[in-house]
Structure 1
Amino acid sequence: MQQMPLWKRLVILVLCGWGALAALPNAFYTDVERHNDAAKEIAAAGVATEEQSADLALWPEILPSALMNLGLDLRGGAHLLAEVQVGDVYAQRIDALWPEVRDALRDLRDEVGSVRRQPSVPGVLRVAISKPEGMAAALAKVKALAQPVVSLTGVGSTDIEVLAEGDELVVQLSEAERAATDTRTMQQSLEIIRRRVDEVGTREPTIQRQGADRILIQVPGIGSAAELKDLIGTTAKLTFNAVIRSTTDAAAQPGARQRLVSDMEEKGLYYIIEDTAVVTGEELTDAQPAFDQNGKPSVNFRFNPTGARKFGDYTAENIGKPFAIVLDDQVISAPVIQSHIPGGSGQITGNFTVESSTNLAVLLRAGALPAKMTFLEERTIGPELGQDSIDAGKTAALVGMVLVVAYMIASYGWFGTMAVIALTINLMLLIAILSTIGATLTLPGIAGIVLTMGMAVDANVLIYERIREELREGKSPGRSIELGFERAFSAIMDSNVTAVITGLIMFFIGSGPVRGFAVTLLIGIITSMFTAVYVTRFIVETWMAWRRPKDIVV
């Protein structure tokens, strides 16, 4: 029997050893979780309390500490499905446009006469002029206010449509801008919710967009759905502050009525800023991605009248100096004031891409939710129910394991025992990979693990049946084993490829529990292929070299 090359044997041993180490923390889940929490808190604060030091000592630093995260159905927590009222944003945008339209038409007073805003449905601006013969000039003037749509699908389009109906101008957002606004509104809502939830230190929340205007929020470990709703409703703290200086010294001491804040993007960069804000996020009415006069991506922002006055006075007195845009005590941008910015509108320029300017606009608007959210579904799952789910999952996995082990040993004797050893290694590798990538384990995920155990021995069954066929044809034990592994490989590969395709379809088309099942299924297919084909052969070859049997019974 020709043995595997030495390098293959070493790779198999290294991978199995890594799997054992990486899966080990899950056997001491509570202690390792407390260790990880303490390490995170100490890193954030820079100092350790006595309790944190005790928790940190619960697990050796030299060992891996990554865990499989427990999902909502296993840990307990809150589930919300929220619908974002994106139509509110259209109305806000149009309302904010009215002063610009009014001021633009005032320049044509001789041609259009008096200008009055007329009642209309939300999201539509109707402006009546007293001299209908000046409608063409009014149309041209208002159309000049249009800006290009900043999105990949809206290239070549403008953000507003302007029409004439009798003696009225009708202004509304274009279809391309509505689509871009929907995307930005959902991004902003997701960003705000994520920041609010992360702030309280919850573990592995699920916050994702569903469909056109819905957001799924699942937060393990939180007390109730009502508590989660209150948390989401909290307003983020956005301020515009004067910058004293920047530094790379995390221990720099700010002066009186100053504070030290970190840069959100550049690690190791800090700013000393005035503690009193020039303006706050409550005075910011809008921020949108745009292009500057050179066609480069930028961000336009607008304050309300109170903020506009304060910001205009500040920029007039501080030309050439930076000011910091601070969100929850982190600087998201620190542009230099190029000129006096009157009127409450300004532009932030820099080395932006379209994506980064859009992200900055999202962060600037993250001081409050952009639109009202209606909660369509809310559930609270208690920790007792989560523990029941864990116990049920353990029972299912144990029963499945016992039945598979009993069948393999009853059918294939000692070779079945070797397959069971490989199956144990397969389960260990699966847990190790799930822990390393930070996957969240749910009840469907446990079902995927149980299914993987059955699929893993399928490959061994194919291999052993091929070995039996070779033995019946009178071939030697060593040659029969070698041919059995070689000739079963194509059938094993075909069956696993079809399973991978199925898993990929479930992952990309499905959502929630279906995707959790698909993740464990896909990883399980990979590990079962490895253990059935390579680990089992390694064990069999090692046994054959040690015992050198003249006859074998498979």
Structure 2
Amino acid sequence: MTDFPRWKYALVALVLLFGIVYALPNAFPPVPSVQVAAIHGAVVDTALQQKVAAALKQQNVAYSDLALDGDRLVADFANADVQAHASDVIRTAVGDNYTVALNLASTVPGWLRAIGAKSMPLGLDLQGGVHFLMAVDQNAVIDKQEDRYTDDIRSLLRQKNIRYDSVARNSQRGQGVAVVLRAAADRNAASAAIAAEYPDLNVQDGATTGDRFVLNAAVKPEKLRDLALGAISQNVGTLRNRINALGVSEPVIQQQGDNQIVVELAGVQDPAEAKRIIGATATLEYHPGIGFPGDPRAVEAARSGNVPPDARLYYERGSRRPVLVSKRIIVTGDELADAASGVDQQSGAPKVDVTLSAAGARKMLDYTTANVGKPMAVVYVETLYDTKIVDGKETRVPRVSEEVISDATVQGVFGKNFQTTGLATTKEASELALLLKGGSLAAPVDIVEQRVIGPSLGQDNIRKGFRAVLLGLGLVLLAAAVYYKLFGLVADIALFFNLVVLLAVMSLIGVTLTMPGIAGIVLTLGMAIDANVLICERIREELRNGSTPHAAIRAGYEKAWATILDANVTHLIAALALTTMGSGPIKGFGVTLLIGILTSMFTSVTVTHAITALIHGHRKLKTLSV
């Protein structure tokens, strides 16, 4: 057996060391925690940490750790009951400028995290959490699109100097916009202009009555289908971005059917907070300004409550200075085509570069042309949904927060492209750009089903799954050791390291462990011993044919390899099919099975060969314990 090269010994040693190190974090279970994240330009710092600590101490809530973790504050607690009480205390202490969410905090030592080692995130069925089934209101998508075309057509006719009496949506949804013109020539001109500007519209002549010449512009059916599918896709992306604020690892957010979205948040035990984040909407509104923050008229309006009829009283973000803003809206976030965050080269302040749609660009150009040197206010509007109990039923109540983030002088004429400043941090600018570009829901969603899985059920599932793995592994180890003796013990060692390397790979690439995943691990362990059975039986056959022990071992590994490879390739094809075409639990099972097949091929052949070479390589053998 001296033909086993040294580089293979080194390879086996490195792989096993890798497996031990990167599987080790799974021995450190997470603990219940409450995390605090900043919104509205607030800051997470030591002052907030001291404030939270004081609030917890005042309410006699014991915590095991309270520390800053990047841009979040994380407090760890002994159990879920203390965690829930602490969440209420912290939420009251920090106010509305922070998001407070229940989660699970890692207890993996810092030196392991420093090398990228982390424990596997657990799925909803193992650690508990919340499950939402959300229905998307696709009628709202059609309404929004037809409203937009109504405004755009009206602006287009004005720009082309085409006389018209009215531009309004048809009473029946999906029938588009009805344009009433004063002459046949005007209708022809309007038809040509609309068809050229908006190719997604079907333009047809309507009824003619006296001096009323009707033109109908309806959204093409294929465009309506694209809008419906696009609304689902945008909502899925938007929900994924928002759920990042909850700090949930591996959330499940996927489309179900034609108009539903499934959201599963493992580890989150506060459905009210989750619904508040999920249902939030945010946008910008550009208004003509009436003075600047702190203007005497605004101060007097804030003091007396007497606001001019054509104005609204807002407060500037950060300074909270009052500012009067015209009720007139120049453009809204719905008319933004793109948004990107950056840093102003001259001032170094955070900014958001905004690109408007054609209709929005025309409105902004008209306003800035006539108002150079005058103020323009940027109002940030956010709608959150609070959950309250009304008449014994859980009700979602909208709460709108509005504040001025910028009130600057219009320095020159601009239209389609410009920038918004006045943001506190680059992170806030990045979040605002994300909300503007794809952060508002393309269509309203309604939570039609909600389930909360408690952590006790998850712990019970974990115990059952752990016992299943131990039982399966133990029976396989015992059978191999009894039947194949020393070679069976070698196979047992390789099987144990197969489990270690499998957990290490799954942890490293971030596979979420679920009950189907545990089933995949058990199946992998049962299948992995097959390769060693083939090797041992081939060695027995060679010994019966008169081969020497060393020759029998060599022939056993060489001749069994082709059969092992063929068997595992068919398994790999099945696992790939489950992984690529499956979803949810099926995909989780397939991913675990795929990784397990690859690791078992290495441990069952290369690792056992290395151990066998170490035991028998330099000995004279008369027989083998096989």
Does TM, scored on the shorter chain, surpass 0.5? yes
Query: What is the letter of the counterpart of residue 622 of structure 2?
Result: K
Q: Is 2:425 the counterpart of 1:425?
A: no
Q: Does 1:63 align with 2:119?
A: no
Corresponding residue to 1:218 among 244, 252, 264:
264
Distance in 1, Cα, partners of 2:371 & 2:9? 69
| CA displacement at 1:405 relative to structure 2 | 1.0
Partner of residue 245, structure 1: none
For 1:200, the equivalent position in structure 2 comes to 246
State the match for 1:178 in structure 2: 224
CA displacement at 1:362 relative to structure 2: 6.8
Q: From the superposition, tell whether residues 238 and 414 of structure 1 become closer, same or farther in structure 2 (CA, over 3 Å).
A: farther
Q: CA deviation at 1:428?
A: 0.3
What value does the CA root-mean-square deviation take over the aligned residues?
4.4
8 Å Cα contact 2:524/2:593 also seen in 1:
yes
Match of 1:528 in 2: 600
Q: What are the residue-to-residue correspondences of 1:243-322 with 2, within 5 Å?
A: 283-288=332-337, 299-301=355-357, 312=368, 316-317=372-373
For residues 297-339 of structure 1, what are the alpha-carbon distances to aligned partners after superposition, in whole Å with 9 as ceiling and x for unaligned? x94348999x9699848984499x9x999999xxxxxxxx995
Alignment partners' CA distance in 1, 2:489 and 2:220:
68
TM-score, normalization by structure 2: 0.67
Cα offset, 1:288, TM superposition: 3.4
Deviation string 1:260-318 (CA, Å, 9 cap, x unpaired) is 9xxxxxxxxxxxxx99899999942333369xxxxxxx94348999x969984898449
Q: What secondary structure is seen at the aligned counterpart in 1 of 2:237?
A: helix
1:8 match: 8
Shift, 1:538, TM fit: 0.8
Q: What is residue 403 of structure 1 aligned with on the other side? A: 475
Pair 1:367–1:278, CA change in 2 (3 A): farther
Please state how far the C-alpha of 1:114 moved relative to its aligned partner: 3.1
Q: Residue 494 of structure 1 aligns with which residue?
A: 566
Name which of 71, 76, 88 aligns with 2:140. Answer: 88
SS of match in other structure, 2:255:
strand
Deviation at 1:22, TM superposition (A): 0.6
Partner secondary structure for residue 90 of structure 1: helix
Letter in 2 for 1:195: N
Residue 519 of structure 1 pairs with residue 591 of structure 2: yes
Using the alignment, how far apart are the partners of 2:146 and 2:134 within structure 1?
A: 25
Taking the aligned partners of 2:528 and 2:187, their CA distance within structure 1 comes to: 76
For residue 489 of structure 1, report the CA deviation from its aligned partner.
1.1
In 1, Cα distance between equivalents of 2:130 and 2:269: 7
In 2, Cα distance between equivalents of 1:310 and 1:235: 28
Residues in 1 aligned to 2:190 and 2:370: alpha-carbon distance in whole angstroms: 35
Could you tell me how far 1:182 is from its partner in structure 2?
3.8
- Residues 120 and 126 in structure 1, CA contact (< 8 A), matched pair in contact too: no
3-state secondary structure, aligned to 2:111: coil
Structure 1 partner of 2:172: 121
Query: Amino acid of the residue matched to residue 14 of structure 1?
Result: L
> Using the alignment, how far apart are the partners of 1:278 and 1:310 within structure 2?
19
Q: Which letter maps to 1:22?
A: Y
Whether 1:390 and 2:390 are equivalent positions in the alignment is: no
Question: Residue 462 of structure 1 aligns to which amino acid in structure 2?
Answer: L
> 1:8 and 1:372 mapped to 2: Cα distance?
59
Please give the alpha-carbon distance, in whole angstroms, between the structure 2 residues aligned to 1:502 and 1:315.
67
- CA 1:219–1:380 in 2, change beyond 3 Å: closer, same or farther? same
Contact 2:576-2:590 within 8 A present in 1 as well: yes
The answer to whether the 8 A contact 2:167-2:177 is kept is: no
SS at match of 1:207: strand
Change (3 A) 1:515 1:496: same
2:201 equivalent in structure 1: 160
Q: Distance in 2 between matches of 1:300 and 1:185?
A: 20
Between Structure 1 and Structure 2, the one with more strand by share is 2
Range with bigger deviation, 137-146 or 167-176: 167-176
d(CA) in 1 for partners of 2:224, 2:372? 35
Aligned-partner Cα distance in 2 for 1:185–1:454: 45
Is the CA contact 1:68–1:439 (under 8 Å) kept in the aligned structure 2? yes
The C-alpha deviation readout for 1:484-527, integer Å capped at 9, x for no partner, is 11111111111111111111111122111001101100010110
What is residue 140 of structure 1 aligned with on the other side? 192
Deviates more, 1:210-219 or 1:456-465: 210-219
User: Would you say the 8 A contact 1:188–1:362 is kept in 2?
Assistant: no
Specify every segment of 5 or more residues in structure 2 that has no aligned partner in the other structure, as ranges.
37-42, 54-64, 68-74, 77-104, 208-212, 290-315, 340-353, 384-409, 420-430
SS of the aligned residue for 2:443 comes to coil
Distance 1:187 1:338 in 2: 39
Change (3 A) 1:118 1:409: closer
- The structural deviation recorded for 1:449 is 0.4
Task: Within 5 Å, give how 1:46-57 maps onto structure 2.
Answer: 51-52=65-66
Q: Secondary structure at the match of 2:173?
A: coil
- Provide the C-alpha distance between the structure 1 equivalents of 2:134 and 2:570, rounded to a whole number of angstroms: 36
SS of 1:441's equivalent in the other structure is: coil
Amino acid at match of 1:423: L
* Matching of residue 340 in structure 1 with residue 392 in structure 2: no
Q: Does 1:76 align with 2:148?
A: no
Please state whether the residue corresponding to 1:4 is helix, strand or coil: coil
Query: Per the alignment, do residues 416 and 143 of structure 1 end up closer, same or farther by CA in structure 2, a change over 3 Å counting?
Result: same
Q: Is 1:474 the equivalent of 2:523?
A: no
Structure 1 residues 132, 303: closer, same or farther in 2, change over 3 A?
closer
Give, as a single letter, the amino acid of the residue that structure 2 aligns with 1:141.
A
The aligned runs of 1:306-385 (5 Å cut-off) are 312=368, 316-317=372-373, 340-341=413-414, 346-347=416-417, 363-366=435-438, 368-385=440-457
Identical counterparts, % of pairs: 35
Q: 1:277 to 1:456 in 2, by over 3 A?
A: farther
Tell me, yes or no, if the aligned pair for 2:531 and 2:564 is still in contact at 8 Å: yes
Q: 1:539 to 1:236 in 2, by over 3 A?
A: farther
The answer as to whether partners of 1:192 and 1:236 remain within 8 angstroms in 2 is no
Do the aligned residues in 1 keep the contact of 2:108 with 2:119 (CA within 8 Å)? Answer: no
After TM superposition, give the deviation of residue 97 of structure 1 in Å: 1.9
Aligned match of 2:625: 553
> Which residue does 1:463 correspond to in 2?
535
- Quote the Cα distance in structure 2 between the aligned partners of 1:281 and 1:103: 13
Q: Which residue of 2 aligns with 1:250?
A: none
Q: Give the letter for the 2:188 counterpart.
A: A
Match of 2:396 in 1: none
Task: Write out per-residue CA displacement over residues 439-475 of structure 1, whole angstroms, 9 at most, x where no aligned residue.
Answer: 1100000000000001110111111111111111111
The Cα shift of 1:553 comes to 2.9
Q: How many angstroms does 1:341 deviate by?
A: 4.0
Residue of structure 1 aligned with 2:236, choices 190, 197, 211: 190
Residue identity in the other structure for 1:20:
I
Deviation at 1:171, TM superposition (A): 1.8
